[in-house]
């Protein structure tokens, strides 16, 4: 049974989410403050957080930044704002989805289910498989490059894992979002560019002259095993 932590200061909204999630078979914990939620997640990690942006102690954005210092748990933001910049910021600091109030609790439960399904371990490849200069270890959620372990975020790992799965294939941003575990309809396609930029910087720290990630203008990205 997956455990969902709801961080929302409005009791009525929390109650509707608890009802919808428990109806789908999830265990739930509700906390109204971000500080308490961060402490809870360190003690008893939940499988996914539903995090309100407008919390009374610290903002959901700040809470997510602090959360990412010790956890890569999936996060869905709840917010009363529908500005594109808020969605962009949300994904860039590590969120997986973004739901605008008012919302359907059933829709949120469906998004939770979809994210947890995408985040489930993949069993189609061997646990440890060489790919040119890369070594993909899915069991340990690690990738080595030219013998060096890469310090990757969860999104960066999923992104590189997707590219390694089919070298030379050109993936669209929407396809890469799906591989990362973010719904393509969330409006985050351009944020893939930020993750690619960060990933390239980490690869250059190991092999400065190599450019394994190729850009295909208007199409997407591919990986060349060099």
Beta 134-137 vs 142-145: how paired, if at all? antiparallel
SS3 32: coil
62 close to 38: Cβ distance less than 8 angstroms: no
Range among 53-57, 68-72, 139-143, 171-175 rated most confident = 53-57
79 close to 52: Cβ distance less than 8 angstroms: yes
Domain boundary among 76, 101, 119: 119
Q: Are residues 163 and 101 in the same domain?
A: no
Kindly report the CATH number assigned to the domain that includes residue 10.
3.40.50.2300
Q: Are residues 114 and 54 in the same domain?
A: yes
Range among 28-32, 109-113, 151-155 rated most confident = 28-32
pTM assigned to the model: 0.62
pLDDT tens per residue across span 117-170: 877 755 444 456 678 899 998 888 889 999 999 998 888 888 899 999 888 999
71 is in which domain, residue-wise? 3-119
Q: Are residues 135 and 114 in the same domain?
A: no
Q: Are residues 96 and 14 in the same domain?
A: yes
pLDDT at 203 over 80: yes
Beta 48-52 vs 3-7: how paired, if at all? parallel
């Amino acid at each position: 049974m997956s455990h969902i932590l709801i961080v929302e200061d409005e009791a009525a909204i929390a109650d509707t989410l608890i009802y919808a999630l428990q109806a789908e078979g999830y265990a739930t914990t509700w906390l109204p403050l971000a500080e308490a939620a961060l402490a809870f997640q360190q003690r008893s990690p939940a499988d996914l957080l539903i995090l309100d942006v407008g919390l009374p102690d610290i903002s959901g954005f700040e809470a997510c930044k602090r959360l990412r210092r010790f956890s890569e748990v999936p996060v869905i933001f709840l917010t009363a704002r529908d500005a594109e910049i808020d969605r962009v910021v949300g994904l860039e600091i590590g969120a997986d989805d973004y739901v605008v109030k008012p919302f359907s609790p059933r829709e949120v439960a469906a998004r939770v289910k979809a994210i947890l399904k995408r985040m489930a371990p993949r069993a189609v490849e061997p646990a440890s498989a060489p790919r040119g200069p890369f070594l993909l270890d899915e069991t340990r959620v690690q990738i080595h490059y030219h013998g060096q372990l890469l310090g990757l975020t969860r999104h960066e790992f999923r992104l590189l894992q997707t590219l390694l799965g089919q070298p030379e294939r050109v993936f669209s941003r929407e396809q890469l979002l799906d591989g990362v575990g973010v719904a393509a309809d969330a409006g985050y396609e351009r944020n893939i560019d930020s993750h690619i930029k960060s990933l390239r910087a980490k690869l250059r720290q190991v092999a400065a002259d190599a450019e394994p990630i190729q850009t295909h203008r208007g199409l997407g990205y591919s990986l060349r095993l060099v």
